[in-house]
Amino acid sequence: MNGDKSVREGAGTPSVRLVRAALIGGVYAALTLIFAPLSFGPMQVRVSEALTLLPWIWAEAIPGLFVGCLISNFVGGFGIIDMVFGSAATLTAAILTSRMPNRYLAAVPPVAVNALVVGGYLSVLLDIPAVPTMIYVGTGQMIACFGLGIPLLSLFERRFRRGGC
């Protein structure tokens, strides 16, 4: 896709974009909860975080990811702090991801924002050192975003070229 704005901006009708946002949110929540033992805690790899690169292609992924994260964190074990700050971190990262110039840089905001925000509040909630916790969360994010997210993004880009929605 190489930053083709015509594909990245407004692909599909309003109803297609709404359904896409809902699907992204639902898949995010489902993946987080299916892989719950890996998804929560200071040493985590949220497989669902691979989806956080989708705002680079579709703006509607931003609210979808936010709602999916909110639902996941509601069910997860860290309560209101995780719901508020974790979901806000996902929202912030999604907005920043949508503004990145290429797919590789699109993986940076979810890694950096979640490492700092989620690692920061988990260290307080669990009374463990902040820097190692941020490194653990950041490492998990790198696995999800660079290891899973970039290939997923490439798959969607190829689908676009063949006329998919």
The answer to whether the CB of 70 falls within 8 A of the CB of 78 is no
Note the pLDDT of residue 159.
84
Question: What is the number of domains present in the chain?
Answer: 1
pLDDT in the model for residue 7: 46
CB count within 10 Å of CB 123 equals: 19
- Name the residue type at position 37: P
- Find the domain containing 78 and state its range: 5-161
d(CA 52, CA 98): 10
Residue 4: predicted pLDDT = 47
Which string of DSSP letters, residue by residue, matches 42-74?
Answer: SS---GGGGGGGGGGT-TTHHHHHHHHHHHHHH
| Mean pLDDT of each 10-residue bin along the chain, 165 residues long | 47 90 98 96 95 96 98 93 97 98 96 98 97 98 98 88 55
Q: Give the per-residue pLDDT at 2.
A: 42
